[in-house]
Every structure is written in structure tokens, then in C-alpha cells.
Structure 1
């Protein structure tokens, strides 16, 4: 059975109801961390990174390959020579001080609104995969229906707080028009918050127009609903595509991730602390620019962080240096008082194997210890982002739920009652039938659905099913139990009309025409 067929497979209403009753699809609230953070730098080292970054901004400069941005920088008094902007540290501090440290993401279902920033965090699925591993575990080009199935899964998996956007690339739609259908799928198949395409300024404007249709033009002015991502070209370059898309989001008061694209050792120094100093300068330059565009608009300190194998030049995931840099970047973001993003559950493996699990778990845990606010690429990422695995997607989501529970910290609300049970049971007894156990067993210890903890005899009797097959079967069940959170009929019609008009206006045959 192909992946694209799964979401439309007809099953009896009773079977779908049984699946829904067996699983709780309610989204977890925004994670409010209750654990101490791991902070490897002392105050002097934080100031040393800050001073090095400010030195880079003032003396090396950052290239802004965009005439509008250069004019904006001149307007606020920055030194501009050619396309290089030299930013005075006082100006940078003044600008980033206006970025909100916290805000609330608003979803079309208000029950899925999310406090964000400081000690509140969210998990967001991966995006951008040109291939998928489907429910036959076959690596192939995705279609729009595959993307819709991922959006459905994101809607149903409790630890996923967003439907993201192009989790996989839908090859059955022209590149020049693809962003419209991707955005519609995010909006249609989930009522959680989502991301918006920033592949060109005009594409970003289309996303904003669709958000205005969904939520209302005035609503956008005061309510963050959609996140954009703008990648820098490390070292120290921002181009017109990303800057134009950034302006489209900032002007509508929607948050953007200001994300240097770091390949440690290739486009940064081959050393952890200097890499963080360069990355920090790049992120600060973009964060400052968001406030030039619109003072007070939400923005998120971002990065894509990988290290490069000095044997092959290939990007690596799950290395100790990536974890160390995440811990350091968390300290820098808190030093500036801005929320921050990192990538979690990253894997370089070609299949959903032990390497994928180890790499993903290492980064997932590091992000909890680092205090990351926007945990992106939290489900499905493998093969250095070249494919999204349907099996890994659901297992990663369960791992995020486990990390969520750990990061909440220790619960003390039933301490006295549980201690009373010790006296009731006494030496040599067991607690399985005690009233406290019966009342608390479901929440006392996390019980994964996708990991097998039974005896080997029982595992063999049940068919010796390994994790990939188990996850694929689970995914099929989820998709067959999916119920669409219906859009308002008038809003749906308006969105479809907008897409139809823009598809008439954008030449489908000219995949390179992004109306920059």
C-alpha cells in the first residue's frame, strides 16, 4: 500500500472510534520547564563571546545583499560601505532590546494556543525533505497527499505543537506555486499553529495574505499565528530572498527565526567557542534588522547547527560539539533576553536504525538541558534532512513526549499520599493494588506505545516485530483514525479562491520565477 493511499483508506466507523478511544490525541500544553538548565559558561565567558561578536559586527561587518535593507540601515545610522554593514554595538543592543521575550502563539483552535519564550517551549516537526520513507519503508519522491498525511499526523500527535509547512516537498505541484498548496494543507489538516514559506518575498507575502483570510487582517497585527524562517549564508551574509521574506513577516507582526546556517568547520572556524561567536554575530545582525523593519515585532534567535566531518566534508548530527554549542547559545539568547530556536531529533542515518536513534536522542536531550524555546525538526528528520521517515516521525514524536515529561521536572503534588502508602504496605508487600497506585498509575511513569518492554518470549509469540514495522503499523492506524478539524466554509472558500487566483497569476511552467 502506498503512503498516499493511507489517508483515504475507508475503514468502518467502529474501527476508527476504537482507535481514537485507545489513544489521547489532545495536544500537550506548551512545555513549562521545571528542571535547572545546563550552563557551561561563566559570566566572564558569556561576556567574552558577546565582545567577540560585537567586534565582528563593528570591524568585519555583515553583508546585506539587498538594496532595501541597506537603505534601512542607513536610515537608522549604521555605517554602510558597498553592501557591507558595520553595526555599532550600542545600536545592536538598542534594537534587540525591543524584541519581546515572550508572546503567545494563537491557533485557529484557541485550545491550541501556546505561551512561548523564557521557560515555555514547543516542539515542531521537520521540514524541507526532498524525499520520504513511506509506509512500505521505500525512499521516494513525495506527493501532496504525502505532505497532507504528515500534517494529519502532526495534528494527532500530542507532543507536536505545530503542523509546520513543507515537511516534505510535494513534487506533483510546480515549484513556483507549491507554497500556496503547502500553506493550505497546513491550515486545513490541523488546527494548531503552523509555519509559513519564506522561499521568496512574494511567497512570504502570499502566506501572510492567506493568514489574513484565515484569522482576519487586524488579528494579525496583535496575534502571532505563523512562524517564518530566514536562513543566513554563513559566514556573515544575508541575501535579498531571505531579507525580503523577513520583511513580509515582520511588517505583519509575525515571528521569524533568524537562522545562520552553520556547518561547523566549513563555514565557521574549526573550534566550538569561535563558531558560537560568529553565529552569535550573524543572528544578532538579523534580529536587529527585524526591529528596523518594525519595532517590537516578535523575532526568534535561530540557527541550523551541524558539524562537518573532516574526513568527508559531510554534515554530522548528534556530535558532542553540537550539544555544547546548543548549551552555549541558550546562555547567549538568555543574556540578550530573546527566545531562541534549535533543531532536535536530527539523524544522518539512511534508515531508521540505531544510528538515527542515538543521534536524535543526544540532540533532543541537549535541547532540554539548554532551555530551547522553539524545538524544530523534532520529528522525522533523517539522512541529514534528505528524507522524512514516516516511522521515525511517530517515534520521534513519542520521544518528544518523553522529553517533555522529563523537562517538566519532579511532581510533588502526591508526595504525602504516596508516603502514606508505604506505611499501608509495609515490608515485603507490593503496591500494585493499592488505592494510590490505582489512582496514579497512568501518570506515574511514562509508558511508551512504540517501544516493546515485554519478555523475549512474548515478543517472539507476537511476531518478533521490530520498531520500524511497529511504527509503520501505528502510523497506518493513526491515519485511518484521523478526523479533519473543519475550516469555516466561508474561510475555506476564500482560501481556495485566493489560491486559484494566484495560480493563474504565477506561471506554472517557470519554476524559477519566484517574483523576487
Structure 2
């Protein structure tokens, strides 16, 4: 290619990127503030019944804390400890969780992306943890750090995504022992929204906290939540030292943690909806209480990963009616205790972006709006039971989240009188397309999806009969070509890079089999 042609191609590329930026409003949506009534399937007596059952589990069955530090903490707090099993008095649990803030604000490195959180305020967070991706060529493969960066860039550009999360996909080109550093840096570098922090070990969590201190300032963390850790329990009724150590790293820095029992309904819980919620509730309460033993007043979020298993195969399922019912119930329990809560949305077990993926994801997405979930995780990209993150599904899910956002905002009344007056202007048999009210409100009146086709079949065929997955991949590619990095402060960037380089020298580079690279 000649130099002249190369320059022309570069200009066309810059022009295309500018056109995308001018066409699309990529401003992050504010934190969702719900106005619709919530769906609450339990009456007050049934809520009390779940609470009583959970408290009885804590008092008589107990919860295993496989961590000497946690056991010592519980003894010092006055709990009965027998071996690794902690028995928690219900009044003590209520006292402890009563110190968890019901609301707080997430602070991003761009203050315009700060998020009020809790009660009626909610946020959408992309999926994390996928060992594979389905890329822009629709190929399922191992992801690399460059692929993770692409997902962080998409999360930054998609208005309904309120966070860049953390390891949306696993970067296989970096040793497992060191990945948390590169993952955290990618979250910070490619987006100026809030992000998640790795909790894969206590030491890794400490590294994340140090990187947050570099980015925001050590003192800033003391009273400004900037990231989120996730600590999974081992259902039934076990918390291990890896998660508990990571929990301490976050709580001591006053950073929020999701206290998340990992529930496979019917496999590690009873094969029944209400008893499953009673067990899950006990597990979540035990961890929430421990966050306050670590540091009274530390922000914490009632969490869970919730799936049911097929009684035919044992495989996890998504989008089932029981999952929706349990989410509705858990929302009631979280509000009963006055704590914010997390659930998973847009889940699917399909292997591609097909009808199954759409139906399952829509079911969980709508259920979470009805349940009043505050932290809606796995909101974009999840497929194949979390085994891969799909770039096509990522952008489609994000648009679906924007649609759910609009629904949950509720009915707008600010133009009611003007619109009713337009009825008299038009009269019988007319149309509203050219009326001043329509011209002033057409963009916000009815949600207009970019990734779904609503044209006549003749026009659809004339334009190439493009189906949603291909349209979504084209859209994702255009977004990535138009991406502009929200630059880090050069001094902060240098300090982060120096920290990563030092820690990578200190941490042995090992893979999953504990073998050196």
C-alpha cells in the first residue's frame, strides 16, 4: 500500500470512528432509581418464617469457618465455637448486621460516573470469570489480555453498564498467580467507571487494595467505596480461608464485599424453593455478620450466585421459574434486614446467541427488576452457564439492560398535559407524526433498539437478511474502533506500572497446575 493510500485509509478510519462517536450517545446512564412497585410473593408471616428458620440454622446447625483468624475473631466477639463450626445467636446476628450501611455511594475515577447505591438505586455490572470467549468472528477460544481489554472498553462505552467489572474473561497469556495485577490494571486503565477487585486469594486482594490506594489515595479509601469484592461461600454452610482472608482485606479498607453463597438449588440445597432460601439466607447472614466483626460499619452486600440443577443431568440451569421466585423472596429478605443485595442477571445456558440465550436472559433480567435488586451482576455476555463470554451477547445484553432500566424508571408524567392537548389538536382520523409534541419527544417516547430489526421483511431482505448475532458483532466492532481511552494521570499510571512490575518479580509465575512458566 502506498503512503498516500495509507494516509487516506487512516483518514477514513478516523472519520468512521468520529461518525460512530457522533451517532451514539455513550454517556453512562445514572444509577437506576426504580419507581415501579416491587413484586413480593411472601406475606409478613412467611418472611418471619424464613427468618426464623435461618436463625435456627445459625444457632443449632452452625456454619463452618475454615479459617483460624475468623475463628479467633468469632471467639473474641462472643460466639460459641466448636472446632471449625461457629454457632451464632440470632440477637447477636441482628445486632451485627444492623451496623451495615443501607446506602452508600460508589466513587469512580471520573466523578461523573459516581453511583448512589442501595434501597431504590441499582447498577448493572458485566459478567466475570469466563474461561472462554466467543469472539467477533464467532469463534469460541481461549481469551488473552487483549480480549479482556476489549471487553473493558465495551463496558466503558455501553451506557447501561455501570462498571468495568474485573476478569470478564481469563487472560491465558499471563500466569494465574500474576493475573490479578494485569486484570485490575486493565479495569482501571480502559474505563473510568467503578470496577470490581479480585478476591482470588487474601494476598491478591491486598494487592488490589494497594492498587486502589495508588489510584485514589490511601486516605480516600477510608470513607469512599471505589471497588467491590466478591466472596463466595461453599454451600451448604461453609466459608473457607481464601474467601475470608480476601473479605478481611476489603473490609479493613472499608470497601464493599458481596457475601455470596454459591447455590445450586437441589444439589447443595434442599430440592424445594422456600427451604433453599432459608439455607441461603443463613449463609449470607453469617458472612454479613462477620464483615461487621472485622470492621463495624463497613459496607457489605447480601449476595448469592443462584442456579438450579437439572434433576435429569445435574447440569446448572438458568431462567427457570424457581430462580425468579427465589430472587423475589431474597429481595424481600434483604429489605427485611435493611441491607443492599446482589443477584445475577442475563444468565443463559445456551452455547450460542440463540433463542434459548435470549429467553433465559430476559427471564432473569425482568425478575431482578421486579425483585428490586441493587447490584445486578453478570448483566452482559454470560452464556454456556458462564463458560464463555460472547462479544455479540455482551452488546445485546447491554441494550436489554437499557430497556429494563427504562421500564424500571416507571411512568413519566412530565409531558402529560402537553400530550393530552395534542389529542385535541389532531382530532379524529389524524396522525401525530408531525405534531410539535411528537417532534419534541420522539427520541425518548418509546425505546428504539439498535440491535433488533423492526423493518418490513422486504427491507430486511434487501439489506442482507442480517440476524441479531451478526448485527451485534458488527456493532461491537464499530464500538471498539471508535473507542477513546479515558487517560490515567501519567504519574498514577507510572506508579501502578511500577507496582505491577515489582509484584510480578516477587510472585512466582505459575499456572493452574502449580508449574513454573
Q: Same fold, TM exceeding 0.5?
A: yes
Which residue does the alignment assign to 2:284? 283
Report the 3-state secondary structure (helix = DSSP H, G, I; strand = E; otherwise coil) of the residue aligned with 1:39.
coil
Partner of 1:437: 438
| 2:5 aligned partner | none
Deviation at 1:513, TM superposition (A): 6.7
Alignment-derived partner of residue 412 in structure 2: 411
- Separation (CA, whole Å) in 1 of partners of 2:449 and 2:145: 30
Gaps of 5+ in 2: 1-8
Deviation per CA, 1:350-387: give whole Å up to 9, x if none: 01100000000000000000000000000000000000
Q: How does 1:352-371 map to 2 (within 5 A)?
A: 352-371=353-372
Alignment correspondent of 1:3: none
Counterpart of 1:174 in structure 2 is: 175
Q: Distance in 2 between matches of 1:509 and 1:112?
A: 36
- Structure 1 residue 510 displacement after superposition: 5.9
Partner in structure 1 of residue 4 of structure 2: none
Match of 1:84 in 2: 85
Which residues in structure 2 correspond to 1:308-347 (within 5 Å)?
Answer: 308-347=309-348
Quote the Cα distance in structure 2 between the aligned partners of 1:155 and 1:221. Answer: 26
Other structure's SS at 1:99 match = coil
Displacement of 1:14 in angstroms is 1.5
Distance 1:463 1:513 in 2: 50
Instruction: Report Cα offsets for 1:21-77 as digits up to 9, x if no partner.
Output: 110000000000000000000000000000000000000000000000000000010
More displaced, 492-501 or 9-18?
Answer: 9-18
Query: How much does 1:154 deviate?
Result: 0.1
**Residues 510/326 of structure 1: CA separation in 2 closer, same or farther (3 Å cut):** closer
Please state whether the residue corresponding to 1:230 is helix, strand or coil.
strand
What TM-score does the superposition give when structure 2 sets the normalisation length?
Answer: 0.97
What does 1:227-266 align with in structure 2 at a 5 Å threshold?
Answer: 227-266=228-267
- Provide the C-alpha distance between the structure 1 equivalents of 2:378 and 2:161, rounded to a whole number of angstroms: 11
**2: CA distance, partners of 1:139 / 1:18:** 30
Kindly provide the CA deviation profile for residues 209-256 of structure 1, in whole angstroms up to 9, marking residues without a partner as x: 000000000000000000000000000000000000000000000000
Is 2:26 aligned against 1:20?
no
Q: What is the rounded CA distance, in whole Å, between the counterparts of 1:330 and 1:509 in structure 2?
A: 41
Correspondence for 1:218: 219
Q: Distance in 2 between matches of 1:18 and 1:319?
A: 42
Task: Specify the alignment match of 1:398 in structure 2.
Answer: 399
Consecutive unaligned residues of structure 1, counting only runs of 5 or more, are 1-8
| Contact kept? 1:176, 1:512, Cα under 8 Å | no
Q: Look up the match of 1:294.
A: 295
Deviation at 1:509?
Answer: 3.2
Question: 1:12, CA displacement in angstroms?
Answer: 2.3
Provide the residue aligned with 1:161 in structure 2. 162
What TM-score do the two structures reach when normalised by structure 1?
A: 0.97
State the SS of the aligned residue for 2:392.
helix
Task: Give the whole-Å Cα distance in 2 for the aligned partners of 1:450 and 1:43.
Answer: 43
How far apart are residue 127 of structure 1 and its match? 0.1
Kept in 2: contact 1:62–1:84 (CA 8 A): yes
Deviation of 1:481 (Å): 0.3
Measure, in 2, the Cα distance between the counterparts of 1:247 and 1:512.
27
Q: Distance in 2 between matches of 1:34 and 1:436?
A: 24
Per-residue CA shift, 1:263-300, capped at 9, x if unaligned?
00000000000000000000000000000000000000
How far 1:13 moved relative to its partner? 1.8
Counterparts in 2 of 1:339 and 1:512: CA distance versus 1, 3 Å: farther
Distance 2:503 2:366 in 1: 43
d(CA) in 1 for partners of 2:474, 2:343 = 30
Q: Residues 456-495 of structure 1: matches in 2 within 5 Å?
A: 456-495=457-496
* Matched-pair contact (CA < 8 Å) for 1:330–1:340: yes
Inter-CA distance 247–513: structure 2 relative to 1 (3 Å threshold):
farther
1:118 and 1:257 map into 2 onto residues whose CA distance is: 16
Q: Following superposition of structure 1 onto structure 2, how do residues 135-214 of structure 1 map, counting pairs within 5 Å?
A: 135-214=136-215
**Secondary structure of residue in 2 paired with 1:12:** helix
For residue 4 of structure 1, what is the aligned residue in structure 2? none
Q: Is the 8 A contact 1:507 1:513 kept in 2?
A: no
- Quick one: distance in 2 between partners of 1:338 and 1:71? 26
Alignment of 1:85-164 (within 5 A): 85-164=86-165
Contact residue 204 and residue 249 of structure 1 kept, 8 A: yes
Q: Distance in 2 between matches of 1:509 and 1:357?
A: 38
Q: Give distance in 2, aligned partners of 1:473 and 1:28.
A: 23
Contact 1:306–1:317 under 8 Å retained in 2: yes
Q: What is the alpha-carbon distance in structure 2 between the residues aligned to residue 443 and residue 59 of structure 1?
A: 55
Tell me the SS of whatever aligns to 1:222. Answer: coil
SS of the residue aligned with 2:222?
Answer: helix
Residue of structure 1 equivalent to 2:6: none
CA offsets 1:166-219 (integer angstroms, 9 cap, x no match): 000000000000000000000000000000000000000000000000000000
Aligned residues of 1:155 and 1:191 also touching (Cα < 8 A): yes
Q: Is the 8 A contact 1:398 1:448 kept in 2?
A: yes
Q: 1:512 Cα shift? A: 6.4
SS state at 2:220 partner: helix
Quote the Cα distance in structure 2 between the aligned partners of 1:18 and 1:352: 28
